[in-house]
Structures are given as C-alpha cells and as structure tokens.
Amino acid sequence: MICVENCGGLDLAVTLDCGQAFRWKSVSNGWHGIVEGRAVTVWMEGDTLFIDGAEESDRDFWVRYFALDLDYLALRQRFCSGNKKLALCVQAQPGIRVLRQPFFETLCTFIISQNNNIPRIRAIVERLCEHLGEALPQGGYSFPTAEKMAELTAQDLAFLRAGWRAEYLIDAAKKVASGEVDETALCAMPMQQAKDRLMTIKGVGPKVADCVLLFSLSFWDAFPMDVWMKKAMQQLFPRGIPVACRGYAGIAQQYIFDYARKNLSRSSEKATKKSTQKCKPTN
C-alpha cells in the first residue's frame, strides 16, 4: 500500500465520478479501479491519499495519474484571486482535479462518449475490457491494447453494442498501433498540432480531441467545448475566458463545468426547436 500526503484537497468522489474517467467504482471503503493493469482501491484520510494494492515502486505512476505533482492549492489561489465568478466556480467543488489517464484508454472512452450518456459509456467500456483485455490475478480486466484491437473489424465489436462508434474505435486502434498517432510524438507537439493529428482519426472531432489532450496528455490549456459549454461560457464569462485561466483553462473548466451544470438550466431552447420542426409524413 502507498500513501501520498498533502494532496491539495483532492476529492476522490468528485474527481473519479465527474465524467473524465469511466472505470472507477465506488466500494465500501473507497474507490476501486484498474489503470494500466494495476488494480487498486483508493481512499482519503484527511489530505492523505491511500492506494491499497499498489507497489511502492509504482509511487511515481500513481502520483502522475492523480496529477499530484501539480500544485492545486496555488492554482486555485490564482483562479480565485483572478476573477470573482471563477472563484465561485472553484468554491462550488474545490476538490475536483484533472487526471492523467492512459492515452489509448482515454482516446477510446471519449470516442465512446460521443452522443452518449455516462452509465452506458461505463457499460460499453466494461464490455470492451472483459472481452479484449487481460484477466488480472486480482480479478478484473486491463484495458485492451491498440495492437489487439487493430486486428479486429467493426463487426467483431458487435458485442459492445456501441453502434456506429465501433468503426471509430477500430480506426483509432489502427492509427495508434501503427504509430501514425503516437503518444510521445503528440506530447512533443504544440497543442493545436497535436489536436489536428488526433482529428485524423475517424470519429475524433474537436471535442474528443480536446478531451484526450486534457485528460491524458497534460495539455492543461485544452478546453473541451460542446454546445452546452459554449452557452455556459457565454453566460458566465461574456467577456471571454478569464486571464487567470491562461495556461490552465482546461483545469479551470472542470470547476466551471461543474458549477454551470448545477446552476444553469440545460434546456432553454426546446420551444424554438418544436415550433421549427418539419411536418412528418403521415403513413
């Protein structure tokens, strides 16, 4: 077991269940998860993180995964003092953090996430691991490798019941396995270039690409925007993204998104949609 002190107010429940990671499960004494073939149970006592099932030699791995090398206290301080409304967002859920998740897993899970909801995303990811991952001695399965998935066709993934996304997953696996899309190379690129490279994968658009940049590759400035987030940003920050976010907009966005989700209504334009919809043929 490993313990890591001074985690900057890390809140596991929020961080592991906010829609950036999809394999953590709440258990009686904390959270159980599998990351790169390592099965662990984690919990907090005060500001200390306990990682049961982890080897001491993997300390750096877990510090990196939870991004505990980043000074969140200082970061929050910077956000809060830089902008009043941003401070409200931070205070709403200060313990939420951005993880550094495995590259191929993150790529796949966010491809699966498109036009989908979290419970089903989790279910599909779980089926993917059970069918194509390696069985672990502690139980559970690792996330499958790109090489393994690259041998398959979209039809082979029918068991996933992922719909059209199966085809996208195969393309992602092929491009990662071939080295056409390479994690190390991406990390060495400027953000926009890395984003463009990711978007050469079929089914990876600006949103999914930004999620991979942010949630896996530590481009802390990546800012995943969908229609909802654009609307929220306009309402909360009509003059544009606060300067205090610069360089860490993606991390700031986690606070903003959570705040917006709680305080802004999701559907405000249903009436317009209904009145403009076409007449359907009556047969």
User: Rounded CA gap, 109 and 121, in Å?
Assistant: 7
Reduced 3-state DSSP string for 49-93: EEEECCCHHHHHHHHHHCCCCCCHHHHHHHHHHHCHHHHHHHHHC
Q: The tokens of 224 are what?
A: 């995943």
- Give the nearest distance from C-beta 160 to DNA in angstroms: 8
- Give the nearest distance from C-beta 3 to DNA in angstroms: 28
Supply the angle between the helices 165-177 and 103-112 in degrees, to the nearest 10: 160
Q: 115 or 184: whose CB is closer to DNA?
A: 115
59, 121, 142, 230, 263 from 139: Cα distances, Å:
22, 21, 10, 41, 40
- Give the nearest distance from C-beta 121 to DNA in angstroms: 8
- Give the nearest distance from C-beta 235 to DNA in angstroms: 15
Q: 101 or 113: whose CB is closer to DNA?
A: 113
- Give the nearest distance from C-beta 2 to DNA in angstroms: 27
- Give the nearest distance from C-beta 4 to DNA in angstroms: 24
- Give the nearest distance from C-beta 253 to DNA in angstroms: 6
| CB-count burial class (<10 Å; 0-12, 13-18, 19+) for 177 | middle
Report the DSSP pairing between strands 38-45 and 25-27.
unpaired
- DSSP annotation of 244 reads G
What residues line the site for DNA (CB under 7 A)?
18-20, 113-120, 158, 161, 163-164, 199, 202-209, 224-229, 253-254, 257, 266-267, 270, 273-274, 276-278
Q: 43 or 123: whose CB is closer to DNA?
A: 123
User: Rounded CA gap, 158 and 172, in Å?
Assistant: 17
Q: 28 or 267: whose CB is closer to DNA?
A: 267
Residue 213 C-alpha from the chain's centroid:
9
Q: 59 or 127: whose CB is closer to DNA?
A: 127
Furthest CA-CA distance within the chain: 67
Q: 184 or 276: whose CB is closer to DNA?
A: 276
User: Rounded CA gap, 89 and 82, in Å?
Assistant: 12
Q: What type of residue is 118?
A: I
Q: 65 or 257: whose CB is closer to DNA?
A: 257
